[in-house]
Amino acid sequence: MKITDGIHRIGNGLINSYLLGEGSEVTIIDAAVPGYWSDLPRELAAMSRSLEDVRAIVLTHGHSDHIGFAERARRERGWPVRVHELDAALARGEVPNPAKGTGPVRPMPLLRFLALSLMNGALRTPRLREVVTYGDGATLDLPGAPRVILMPGHTPGNAALHVPSRNALFIGDAMATVAVTNGATGPMVAPFTADAAQAVASLSRLDGLEAAWVLPGHGEPWTGGVGEAVRIVRAAAG
């Protein structure tokens, strides 16, 4: 579905993959779950683009529900898969997931998330054989020219990607707007975060940054301003 000019999303809002267009080319931000691969041609067509126009997949971090179809795309299409250097080993499956706990759980929302994951092959997400790393502060030479803002906490190499030309901040799991574990909505520390205190501290890296569209890995877009989202997450954290 179209989010705004030049940005489309695959998925129903629980697990998101974004398509970022610039000119005739496309960057994919997060590859969600393997089953979304079959949705990709149709969503690209909605942007008047095709698989031929995709230049890379950029992962906000190395969790499996962001890796999704990335290894298949790398193998079959040769698209480079980019991830922060601190999450490269996680994306390659060489280190265990550092996630600590889920926070409060309610069964029905969690079952919805698990059902969506299972239907889309999430249990069989292939780890990446190869990644191309990026560092903090880099402006990636890709469609949309995303700028990397390292925000450790959710994972050590968790990054947000700022795209000023689209007035958008792809925030990955540095914050979520839905808790897939209990259905709560609004800006929050994402479930399955390794170090919640560090995740909250990392929000200061967004100080002064403006973006009309804050686009999380899980949940609907936040359009109430970056500063307000940060305030809400901090307030809940005490």
Residues that bind Zn ion in the complex, under the rule CB under 5 A: 63, 173
Residue nearest to Zn ion (CB): 63
Q: How far is the CB of 87 from Zn ion (least distance, A)?
A: 10
Q: Which is nearer to Zn ion, 43 or 173 (CB)?
A: 173
Q: Which is nearer to Zn ion, 9 or 63 (CB)?
A: 63
**Which contacts (CB < 8 Å, 24+ apart) does range 45-53 have?**
46/2, 46/8, 47/6, 47/8, 47/19, 47/21, 49/19, 49/21, 49/24, 49/25, 51/77, 53/24, 53/25, 53/26
Q: How far is the CB of 127 from Zn ion (least distance, A)?
A: 15
Q: How far is the CB of 192 from Zn ion (least distance, A)?
A: 6
**C-alpha 164, offset from chain centre:** 17
Q: Which tokens sit at 43?
A: 């969503």
Q: Which tokens sit at 48?
A: 């008047």
Q: Which is nearer to Zn ion, 29 or 44 (CB)?
A: 29
94/35 Cα distance (integer angstroms):
24
Q: Which is nearer to Zn ion, 41 or 101 (CB)?
A: 101
Q: How far is the CB of 60 from Zn ion (least distance, A)?
A: 8
